[in-house]
Chain A
């Protein structure tokens, strides 16, 4: 990433953040206590944070600093961006399937896809993630008593 696009990306990000601050400030302006026994109401503190953030962000838009790069930083090309989007989609799918499908099937399924995304071969990926899911279920739900959903496996006798 050259300096110019890096500055543009930072400006865009800071701009979006600033816009969010303004929206939140408008929403927060209406916060009033029905009755109050203290001089500071519920809106002063968040508005102060938003105001200070807005000043900092405005400065960042005007003078975005150069971004540091690590030696082995991968350039954000289209292929990597697609993979990142897919990874986020998989994590969201995991959240959605967690309760209806249950911990073990959803972890084995989504975990296998994530393993494939990170360069695993199909058979080792599926085997590893299935064993991992079952093992972690036994560890957390049975041994450590952290309740996890069984989902479709609920009908099984364990």
Chain B
């Protein structure tokens, strides 16, 4: 009952005219940003943080804006996947598998509208899950001490490498790179300058926005150069623009299953939408058996990952709000935004700042409805925006990215660093290293080191504290499982 009271208060916050306009603007900006290859949800949210701060928005409104942009980007991101076969985000890779073949069959409008509907249902299921489970998890999370947090972060890193895809070693290496990069700068405990090479520009460490925009935007610019070089053509959306009732009914149970699956995958720290969409796609493919035409334009192959992405996008906010652990790259950026407002996400956030938390949850309901209303009728308009040629699109991406980085410290050093990181990101992508783990490692790195050092300070250097409590032991058990899973999978393949 108490939960519903809080939710009511949340709607009181979300439905104020100012926050409604904020959510509407956020969904609009998010959808357009998500549309543009190179500026995915991570970049979209990162770009808007200084804007929200500069506008002097109160924290709950800033968070509503960023959450609406996040959901909007997830909506918009699928459009380039379906029409251009360019997944704007790692999570939408699975969407290309059946979405692009559908577009080539002249069903681009159906694919776009059905994926919007699926994403809406997924997000709706996950938002209900948030209302029911987030406070419970927050209460449970109070039992987490530094040692438990450390083990949880080890789990997040290992979960990424073990389950995420078929390249566990590269995923793990990418995460380790992120963990290491987080140690650059002044050590908070001892004041020692680490790997700064006497440059004051990196004394504060590598700025998160520089890393995000370098890794994702600059590397995308270089990848778009390849697409332009090879004469990659976009697909025209022809035929009908909306799905029909029969098509919606045929994927209804997939929507329900994958919505729940997406929510729980989103809640897992470090797993996020990429993992959720992959698992949803693979499980539905397995369930369909011989009846499926997965990979050739099957509706189920489109609905499954899209519902899961919608669910995971909302689910990822649960660990962000309750534990302070990002459930995805974008929520990692949002934690950075919270810190700008001196808000520390964690178990106490629900008690100390209920207007922020419940305002955000209620605004997710509002943003989802707005997105559906905006997206389905505007499918035709979006396909026209995508007709922007690369020669006009890329300079826009480059300029906006540069503004995003310069806005943080107003130094050109960051711009050069961003280009260098971008080149590294491009090489990593060309060699099949995923980039999201670098980001998650970077965000988790600082927390991980601090918690490890805090735990060992409490125990006076005794390592046993890391597995002393039942929570730590259970989490280590999960870590073991995650490490064994890829080996088991490899063994089964033989």
Note whether A and B form a binding pair: yes
Chain A interface residues toward B at CB < 8 A: 9-10, 13, 24, 27-28, 31-34, 36-42, 45-46, 49-50, 52-53, 56-57, 59-60, 65, 67-68, 71-74, 76, 79-80, 83-84, 87-88, 91-92, 94-96, 98-99, 103, 107, 110-112, 114-120, 124-125, 128-129, 132-133, 136, 140, 144-148
Contacting residues, chain B, for A115 (C-beta < 8 A) = 391-392, 394-395
Q: Give Cα A87 to B227, complex, Å.
A: 14
Q: A115-B391, A146-B54 are in contact. Are A91 and B431 (CB under 8 A)?
A: no
Q: Which residue of B lies closest to A140 (CB)?
A: B403
Query: Whole-angstrom distance from the CB of B372 to the nearest CB of chain A?
Result: 28
Chain B interface residues toward A at CB < 8 A: 50-51, 54-55, 85, 167, 169-170, 172-173, 176-177, 179-180, 183, 187, 189-192, 194-195, 218, 221-222, 224-230, 232, 389-392, 394-396, 398-400, 402-403, 406-407, 410, 412, 415-416, 418-419, 422-423, 426-427, 430-432, 445, 448-449, 452-453, 456-457, 460-461
- The 8 Å CB contact of A50, one of B180, B221, B422, is B180
Q: Give Cα A68 to B391, complex, Å.
A: 28
Evaluate contact between B415 and A95: CB separation under 8 angstroms: yes
Contacting residues, chain B, for A119 (C-beta < 8 A) = 228, 389-391
- Binding site of A, secondary structure by majority: helix, strand, loop or mixed? helix
Evaluate contact between A118 and B176: CB separation under 8 angstroms: no
Evaluate contact between B403 and A136: CB separation under 8 angstroms: yes
Q: Give Cα A92 to B420, complex, Å.
A: 9
Given A92-B416, A95-B412, A136-B400, 12 other A-B residues pairs in contact with their CB atoms under 8 A? A31-B192, A36-B190, A37-B457, A50-B180, A56-B169, A65-B170, A67-B431, A91-B218, A95-B416, A96-B412, A115-B391, A144-B55
Query: Whole-angstrom distance from the CB of A92 to the nearest CB of chain B?
Result: 5
Q: A33-B192, A40-B453, A42-B192 are in contact. Are A83 and B229 (CB under 8 A)?
A: yes
Contacting residues, chain A, for B179 (C-beta < 8 A) = 49
- The 8 Å CB contact of B183, one of A49, A67, A74, A107, is A49
> Which of B180, B399, B426, B430 has most A Cβ within 10 Å?
B399
Evaluate contact between B431 and A125: CB separation under 8 angstroms: no
Q: Which residue of A lies closest to B232 (CB)?
A: A72
Evaluate contact between B403 and A114: CB separation under 8 angstroms: no
- The 8 Å CB contact of B406, one of A46, A92, A98, is A98
Evaluate contact between B423 and A132: CB separation under 8 angstroms: no
Evaluate contact between B457 and A39: CB separation under 8 angstroms: yes
Evaluate contact between B412 and A32: CB separation under 8 angstroms: no
> Which of B224, B229, B394 has most A Cβ within 10 Å?
B229
- The 8 Å CB contact of B457, one of A38, A42, A103, is A38
Contacting residues, chain B, for A60 (C-beta < 8 A) = 169-170, 173
Contacting residues, chain B, for A95 (C-beta < 8 A) = 402, 412, 415-416, 418-419
- The 8 Å CB contact of B194, one of A46, A68, A103, A145, is A46
